Structure 1
């Protein structure tokens, strides 16, 4: 290239010289008559003299910039650098409020492994501070599975879309392509005209300690993350498996068979929550390589979206077959739903182990054999990955929901993690032979603490020593525009949403809420209580649970548990978890239910449930179905629960120890009442009266202690 440029420059010089000579000759001929000059011949390009060496191309190229090791101190670990490269004011222009003016920013995040170990799956943490919205991450993804653009104003963790090694220089002979990652970032920030910088940067990989970030100039921040291990590690060319993660919901994406243009994938959903039941699960994801689901067994897709296949790359690739018009789903964002129970043994669409449960996945305390749901897919690939049977890319952006809550954000799923392939028992029932998946990815979904769902159930208290029922709270399940069923009437605008709920006579519990008004006002008048105007709103809960203390004796006591279903939903195989710190060790039995004490648990939101809970379930074929409300009458299940005092000495049943502190229905926490019943007439429980009499007799007969 340099030689060619030199030759062109010499040619241009000769042409210019030739033009000047012609001009000079013309000027002279205008003054002295002479014969017309001969037509000049075009000049030839001069060649450099023989033996002359032209400068090399490198001598014409600009000098290379300094490397990272020249700019920053040595780091025996991972050097993390963040550099802002560009900032530009964007619409809308907010001249009056410059502190919220949006700006486009561009930055480079760089990881350079200068240590001894290879990092199997790098992750870089960035703590932003200017309301940043990340729009593009140059092929990297957010570790929590959020899609871009994403609000990262509270910080984020970047990682590779697929598990990516950050190898060390020792085993790669310093190959920058293998030991360095450069991530171009584009986003929006607010209020910083030039060089918006994060508060801190680091890597989140275990066994690395990052120093406090240091600024270099106005637009560069760096930190050194030292590794504890100083042993040289060499990795092979095989795949690096990540450790399995724990979570509320785990999803295994197993490639069980792989071919050039398609593969079979078994997807297994596991409910790891100790008391939460999943109803009507739904699962969605995003394909990254234009794949489509050719067929599915054990579940169903919400929509086929055939036009995407016919009009897109799948249709052009598989014009000769398979018939894309019969594909199960061509959408880039398929939604998967479970099949009903009657399809369990269907040889066409069922027949998969753990399939066809109508979307219900139980916690292990109810049935350890029903904690999983699974389905099998035949996935077709398209070019360029359709000719390599080893090339399989899992979908990303998994979303898990239950019921109608597909995208309410209650569950947040992480990115797929390549783990050790799942091992399956031998399909031929051999004692030795086993099979394993070709590849396995794990996706972990956890309950999002910030997302609070509207409760579906509430609790009321009553006792033999008080004629009033402490009802469910006003608006315990919100104040919906459409109540859970017609038993609530309409949401009257005249009710007081902030007033405390009014006491009920016990017989009013089984009346439809819409018909309780006369009972409530009459009971208040009878007990000389003020009647507010307007009256408080009702609870609007589909499930009401009443706990009534029936009796209290010296050696034991009993309570009655009543479940009322005022909704339009029937609950098969229902269960309730009851927390009673003082009473649970004395649990004896429930007479028309199953009652079992539970071991030490943590509930689905992470709050500790100590060894003070028990679970109640219906009896199979008798009352394991809690029926929906009909004709203004609730579905009802009731049982007496007995307790002994031998294992709970000192328990004070009417003083609060006989009431639950929390109740969960089908794993969802119910709203507890505002207070507990008291003895309005001044009487106390018989056991307390007897104890008080004994204490008085001892005092008068024996005198004060120590005398």
Structure 2
């Protein structure tokens, strides 16, 4: 009996640890760490739905999307916003946006709704549409700027007239299952929540009108959901070492093998030595025609060992008495142009960043006290567009930093801890491969050679004299 009791007491704590480990695994699976960005802890896209007036069978609403992300923007072909109606609502009309499909409106006669789908998908209008179809902050083709880089274009809005919806705060039911794509995945939206009604000032600011009803939806980005493969990698070099530390092999994908069938997940690529510009038609893959029929054509880029569309190169260039200088180069190996590109770099010396010579620079202090992160983007009409792969497919700048008490070229301190391009994490080289200072033995050999040469020179001078 004593042995049995002791075994029972010993087993119970072990099972508790198993349960605890299983719970941690479940939480990590349900809530991936990539959904939280420590460099932009408050970054999200908030959708505000304001009911402005009632109609005979529903309401008129102003829907606004606010991009509160510091450096993550939405580029062409733009955003897609979707939801599921809670009842049998329809969209009678829209301004500033449109539904992608009308759906089954066969039960309506005479006045046909704009959209009858129970799960509409809404897209922005293109620039140049007639003024009668526009609303404020619309018609940019779904492009949405980031809050730090392009605050004037970080919001989009449209007007929607909803029918079969109820005509009071107690009969209107909030839509559910909101989705936001760009157009690929990456954003997860929470449920709609009623909030305090919005206030809208008059043009002169002397009078405010109040929405009849307001609800918010918050959407957060996760690189894990957007794509499993990274989109950029980083290479390093320095003035004190000749060798260049390249991007990791297969950092974003592996180079296609012409001896094996091409997988749909493998990107097509061309040899950069075979052409000065990217082809406009699907190319041969490493010289072999192995494109599979009836499958989507993967992204086209230059072949490389890392197969990353974007390469970031950080070069420690000059060492001054009180300052040091680094050169940053962004190379585009992709077939597309990158507009509104940005680069986020985390480095311990950025608190003393003195000047960025040909990039716009803004510090990002996520927690107010630690200033180790900088955001860079192009200068308008100069290098704000990163051109497609080819001779013009790169932008570069040098940055000047003042040395602080922690400054050292040893142990890789002069190289960034983290780099993001357009909000996505870039793959850094392994820490043990960073350019290192010449070791003590090398310094001793240099000093010995200097002394030997000095003695020889003295001997020659003594013989001559």
Unaligned runs of 5+ in 1: 1-130, 132-150, 156-245, 495-511, 517-537, 603-608, 691-707
The aligned residue for residue 433 of structure 1 is: 207
Shift of residue 289, structure 1, vs aligned partner = 2.0
Matched, 1:401 2:161: no
Distance 1:601 1:278 in 2: 25
Q: Aligned in 2, Cα 1:656/1:448: closer, same or farther, shift over 3 Å?
A: closer
Which of 79, 86, 97 in structure 2 is aligned with 1:299? 97
The aligned residue for residue 541 of structure 1 is: 308
The aligned residue for residue 288 of structure 1 is: 86
The aligned residue for residue 336 of structure 2 is: 569
Contact 1:303 1:334 (8 Å CA) reproduced: yes
Q: Aligned in 2, Cα 1:461/1:553: closer, same or farther, shift over 3 Å?
A: same
Alignment of 1:260-279 (within 5 A): 260-279=56-75
Contact 2:302 2:334 (8 Å CA) reproduced: no
Distance 2:249 2:320 in 1: 34
Q: Aligned in 2, Cα 1:614/1:473: closer, same or farther, shift over 3 Å?
A: same
The aligned residue for residue 198 of structure 2 is: 422
Alignment of 1:400-549 (within 5 A): 400-405=180-185, 410-426=186-202, 429-447=203-221, 451=225, 453=227, 454-479=229-254, 481-483=265-267, 486=270, 513-514=302-303, 538-549=305-316
Distance 2:88 2:239 in 1: 66
Question: Tell me, what secondary structure is at the counterpart of 2:106?
Answer: helix
CA deviations on 1:510-533 (whole Å, 9 max, x unpaired) are xx854x7xxxxxxxxxxxxxxxxx
Q: Aligned in 2, Cα 1:470/1:273: closer, same or farther, shift over 3 Å?
A: same
Which of 368, 374, 393 in structure 1 is aligned with 2:151? 368
Which of 613, 628, 638 in structure 1 is aligned with 2:396? 638
The aligned residue for residue 310 of structure 1 is: 106
The aligned residue for residue 600 of structure 1 is: 366
Contact 1:261 1:388 (8 Å CA) reproduced: no
Shift of residue 679, structure 1, vs aligned partner = 4.9
Contact 2:317 2:325 (8 Å CA) reproduced: yes
Runs of 4+, deviation exceeding 4 Å = 387-390, 487-492, 679-685
**CA RMSD in angstroms, aligned pairs only:** 3.6
Task: Choose between structure 1 and 2 for higher RCO, CA contacts under 8 A separated by at least 6 residues.
Answer: 2
Contact 1:484 1:541 (8 Å CA) reproduced: no
TM-score, normalized by length of structure 1?
0.48
The aligned residue for residue 85 of structure 1 is: none
Shift of residue 478, structure 1, vs aligned partner = 2.8
Q: Aligned in 2, Cα 1:663/1:450: closer, same or farther, shift over 3 Å?
A: closer
Matched, 1:579 2:346: yes
Which of 117, 140, 152 in structure 2 is aligned with 1:357? 140
Distance 2:188 2:328 in 1: 35
Q: Aligned in 2, Cα 1:584/1:491: closer, same or farther, shift over 3 Å?
A: farther
Distance 2:64 2:284 in 1: 42
The aligned residue for residue 589 of structure 1 is: 355
Question: Tell me, what secondary structure is at the counterpart of 1:309?
Answer: coil
Matched, 1:625 2:385: yes
The aligned residue for residue 119 of structure 2 is: 333
Contact 2:236 2:244 (8 Å CA) reproduced: yes
Unaligned runs of 5+ in 2: 1-21, 31-41, 255-263, 273-282, 289-300, 448-465
Distance 2:442 2:179 in 1: 54
Shift of residue 654, structure 1, vs aligned partner = 5.1
Alignment of 1:15-94 (within 5 A): none
Shift of residue 268, structure 1, vs aligned partner = 1.1
TM-score, normalized by length of structure 2?
0.72
The aligned residue for residue 668 of structure 1 is: 424
Q: Aligned in 2, Cα 1:475/1:610: closer, same or farther, shift over 3 Å?
A: farther
Question: Tell me, what secondary structure is at the counterpart of 1:348?
Answer: helix
Q: Aligned in 2, Cα 1:400/1:601: closer, same or farther, shift over 3 Å?
A: farther
Distance 2:320 2:441 in 1: 15
Which of 348, 368, 371 in structure 1 is aligned with 2:132? 348
Q: Aligned in 2, Cα 1:678/1:398: closer, same or farther, shift over 3 Å?
A: same
Question: Tell me, what secondary structure is at the counterpart of 1:585?
Answer: helix
How many residues are paired up?
A: 377
Radius of gyration: which is bigger?
A: 1
